[in-house]
Amino acid sequence: MEKHSRIYIAGHKGMVGTAIWKKLQAEGYSNLNGKTSKELDLRNQKDVNNFINSERPDVIIDAAARVGGIMANKEYPYQFLMENLQMQNNLIDAAYRNDVQKFIFLGSSCIYPKHAPQPIKEEYLLTGSLEPTNEFYAIAKIAGVKACEAINREYGRDFHSLMPTNLYGPNDNFDLQTSHVLAAMIRKFHDAKMKSEKTGHREPVELWGTGTPFREFLHVEDLADAVCFAMENNLPENLYNVGSGNELSIKDLAELIQKIVGHQGDIHWDSSKPDGTPRKLTSIDKLKREGWESRISLEEGIRSTYEWFLEQEGGYKEVRINS
């Protein structure tokens, strides 16, 4: 891969795309291209094909997606299915039609069966039923993985699918209606801490589920590093998990975030709300054998993410992070 290679990053303004752009710039890549949704609607097949035909990128990195937590997936299943299918299929097909040789498709570990053996290996794909709370998003991403696999098999391209585990980090979504679990917890504990300081009472925090499921988390900068690695190397397989290889319970995650934020109140678990998949630890052996592994610890990553969050919250900049 040359430093002047033409690289198009779809979704370059999102959490993942921003991290990838920053990483590639730091590595000296000087010919990066990105378009906002207003400049290029990835759901429009004709516009996407015309853009790829005009720009002729050497590499396409697909970090564009409609994403959200359990609540968003439950309320908008059609949008999660159709919009993700439209965006990824238009990009993959345009890459095929315009002879783009290198394509990196980003998905999610939710593509695997709800009760897959642990840790989850890539070959477990399509061996069981999906987790109902995100199955429409997962089905779209599975279609993308299989489209890349089919193009490799039929046309000998270098299309790879990277499936990260639960992501977090700078530029995450902290809206309580649409955010994922780690960002939502940061928001809830922070808001409760600020309210406690105003009222003088220890405000409790209510969290969904029982706290018993286990989850694996990956800092978005580690994912960006994995994308750069996949771009620069000839990987022999189509599908790779990208994770930390470490897991913890949602309860332990909550207590860790509570400590870092400095919240002093109680935690109430609403067991009437869904837990989601009981356990979801990915096997990272495949990518590790090729020479890549994550570097940012969960505690270090949460601290830096909370620091970033405070910087965005103008009035909260002086809030001290617990050590």
Q: Report pLDDT for 320.
A: 46
For residue 218, give the DSSP letter: E
Work out whether the CA dihedral 241, 244, 245, 251 comes out positive or negative.
negative
Share of the chain above pLDDT 90, in %: 87
Tell me what pLDDT residue 323 has: 42
Annotated binding-site residues for substrate read: 188, 208, 215, 275
Give per-residue pLDDT as tens, 97-146: 999 999 999 999 999 999 999 999 999 999 999 989 889 999 999 999 99
Residue ranges of the annotated binding site for NADP(+) are 11-17, 106-109, 141, 164-167, 180
- Catalytic site residue from 137, 168, 240, 306: 137
Let me know: does 251 contact 212? Beta carbons within 8 Å: yes
Average pLDDT along the chain: 94
Location of each CATH 3.40.50.720 domain in the chain: 7-170+218-245+281-287
Annotation: binding site: 11-17, 106-109, 141, 164-167, 180, 188, 208, 215, 275
Which residue would you say has higher pLDDT here, 68 or 208?
Answer: 208
Q: Which residue has the higher pLDDT, 316 or 242?
A: 242
The CATH code belonging to domain 7-170+218-245+281-287 is 3.40.50.720
Looking at the chain, how many residues does it have? 323
Asked if omega into 132 is within 30° of 0 (cis), the reply is: no
Q: Could you give the residue range(s) of every CATH 3.90.25.10 domain in the chain?
A: 181-211+249-279+297-315
- Element at 86 (helix H, strand E): helix 77-97
Split at pLDDT 50, 70, 90, the class of 314 is: low
Please confirm, yes or no, whether 76 is among the known catalytic residues.
no
- CATH number for 181-211+249-279+297-315: choose from 3.90.25.10, 1.20.1090.10, 3.30.590.10, 3.30.750.24: 3.90.25.10
Q: Which of the pair, 134 or 252, is modelled with greater confidence? A: 252
Strand extents, DSSP E, 140-249: 158-164, 166-168, 205-208, 214-215, 217-219, 239-242, 248-249
* Mean pLDDT calculated for residue range 298-312: 96
